[in-house]
Amino acid sequence: MSSIENQNEEDKIRQAFKERDWNEIKSADSWAIFKVMSEFVEGFEKLAKIGPCVSIFGSARTPRDHHHYKMAEEIAAKLVRHGYGVITGGGPGIMEAGNKGAHSEGGKSVGLNIVLPFEQFDNIYIDRDKLITFDYFFVRKVMFVKYSQGFVVLPGGFGTMDEFFEALTLIQTNKIGKFPIVLVGKEYWTGLVDWIKKSLLSHHYINEEDLDLFSVVEDETEAVKVIDDFYGKYLLSPNF
């Protein structure tokens, strides 16, 4: 981290402890509220008519020649052939692969981009009328959940885990209707699932039936089958 970055980080920490007067609060936070509102409005307007879609998550750092990239691309293509559109975070890596697979089959290809200091830029396979760029992660996450009929989660980092556990929490607490959550790649996910069973379940922090809120599969065909099997029993409908 450079000296400038260190200084910026220190300034943020100091600012968090600074007491602000009412005029400072009004000038800073009031505009933040309007910015949040504008992001919600744009998201609702652009996504309200996209139809049934599945969100694909995974690392932005996955190179194009990696088998996870190819897997995400094929999953997206299969989903489109089965009647779904595809939503991704709009960036590179697995997100690009998902949009590319949807685009290749002529399906709806949605990108919910986020402003970040590194890694993130919108990929070329997103439908231009279905690209939204957010400043706030929490607004973006609402859009993923509200307009997705399922989550397909490929290997990724903190952001991928964030989306996975967000959906699990909302379904577990009955804040949204149940939808399929599919973890793809048994070798990658087995350690996490074993930890959930050994630590969370054994300490009674979750219930046995909570393990049924997600599936772990190995390949593209299995991933899409979980989505199809779920909606063979339920009508397609929004989650909010």
Query: Model confidence over 18-47: pLDDT tens digits?
Result: 666 656 666 667 788 899 999 999 999 999
Q: What is the DSSP letter of 201?
A: I
| Its pTM surpasses 0.75 | yes
Over range 198-210, report the average pLDDT. Answer: 97
Q: Which of 228, 189, 174 is nearest to 54 (CA)?
A: 228
pLDDT digits (tens, 9 = 90+) for 87-110: 999 999 999 999 999 999 999 999
Q: How high does pLDDT run on average in the chain?
A: 90
Residue 95: phi and psi, rounded to 5, are -60, -45
Structural domains of the chain ordered from first start: 1-48 (no CATH), 51-231 (3.40.50.450)
Q: Which of 122, 127, 114, 120 is nearest to 80 (CA)?
A: 127
